[in-house]
């Protein structure tokens, strides 16, 4: 099993969710986060004063999948989230040692 974490632009969330549902992903967790990378921050004008926004709003997706689905999930995320502009995000894939469904006690792939 693998855990896929994807940091994407907020307006791409629905597109990515739909793309993942189409390939059989049955659940994911989405969290509003802030961060920066090469995109850095930007300046905004508010009531005549200019200020720097250091952290950019993003959405972090967390998905637990069977090993066989990893490549399809990564490709679906890339296809749905890519704009071609800086700040499209990142995908991290890590090993997932154990998963347990609290309600039933099912474990590992059965719990996903």
pLDDT tens-digit series, residues 71-99: 999 999 999 999 998 889 999 999 999 99
Distances (CA, A) of 105 to 25, 51, 101: 20, 51, 5
pTM: 0.85
Full DSSP string of 19-85: HHHHTT----EEEEEEE-STT--EEEEETTEEEEE-SEEEEEEEEEE-GGGHHHHHHHHHHHH--SS
Maximum mean pLDDT: which of 41-50, 51-60, 71-80, 82-91: 71-80
**Which of the four pLDDT bands, split at 50, 70 and 90, describes residue 47?**
confident
Q: Report all structural domains of the chain as residue ranges with CATH numbers, in order of start.
A: 2-111 (3.30.70.120)
Q: Residue 39: what pLDDT?
A: 65
């Amino acid at each position: 099993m693998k855990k896929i974490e994807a940091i994407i632009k907020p307006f791409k969330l629905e597109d990515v969710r739909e793309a993942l549902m189409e390939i059989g992903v049955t659940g994911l967790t989405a969290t509003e986060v802030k961060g920066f990378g090469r995109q850095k921050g930007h300046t905004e004008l508010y009531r005549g004063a200019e200020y720097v926004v250091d952290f950019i709003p993003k959405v972090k997706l967390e998905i637990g999948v069977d090993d066989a689905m990893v490549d399809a999930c990564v490709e679906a995320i890339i296809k749905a989230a890519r704009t071609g502009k800086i700040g499209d995000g990142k995908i991290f894939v890590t090993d997932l040692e154990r998963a347990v469904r609290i309600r039933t006690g099912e474990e590992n792939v059965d719990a996903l």
